[in-house]
Amino acid sequence: MDPRRLLPELLDAALRAVDGRECVSRALRSFPATRVELFAIGKAASAMARGAHDALSGRIVRTLAITKDGHVDPMLAALPDVTVIEAAHPVPDERSLAAGEELLSRLSALDADTHPVFLVSGGSSSLIERLQPGVDLAGLRELNARGLAAGWDIGRLNAERSRLSRLKGGGVARLLPDRAALALFISDVPGDDPDVIGSGLLGRDQDRADGIERRIVANIDESMKAVIDAADARGLRLLPGPRRFGEDVKAVAAEFLDALRKTQADGLVWGGESTVELAANPGRGGRNQHLALLIARKIQPKENFTILAAGTDGTDGLTDDAGAMVDAGTVDRAELGGVDVERALAGFDSGLALEASEDLLHTGPTGTNVGDILIGLRGKARTCSNPV
Per DSSP, the residues of 254-296 read: HHHHHHHHH-SSSEEEEEE--B--PPSS--S--HHHHHHHHHH
Query: What's the residue count for the chain?
Result: 388
**Distance in angstroms (rounded) separating the CA atoms of residues 319 and 113:** 43
CB of 226 closer than 8 Å to CB of 13: yes
What pTM did the predictor assign? 0.92
321-343 residue pLDDT tens? 999 999 999 999 999 999 999 99
User: Model confidence over 118-175: pLDDT tens digits?
Assistant: 999 988 988 999 988 888 888 888 887 788 778 787 778 777 878 888 899 889 988 9
Average pLDDT, the chain: 92
How far CA 294 is from CA of 102, 147, 179, 258, 330, in Å, comes to 43, 22, 50, 13, 11
Contacts of 215 (CB under 8 A, 6+ apart): 27, 182, 183, 184, 185
pLDDT band of 79, cuts 50, 70, 90: very high
Exposed (0-12), middle (13-18) or buried (19+): which is 326, by Cβ within 10 Å? buried
d(CA 137, CA 120): 23
Query: What domains sit in the chain, N to C, each tagged with a CATH number?
Result: 3-14+221-378 (3.40.1480.10), 19-218 (3.40.50.10180)
- CA 29, 30, 35, 36 torsion-angle sign: negative
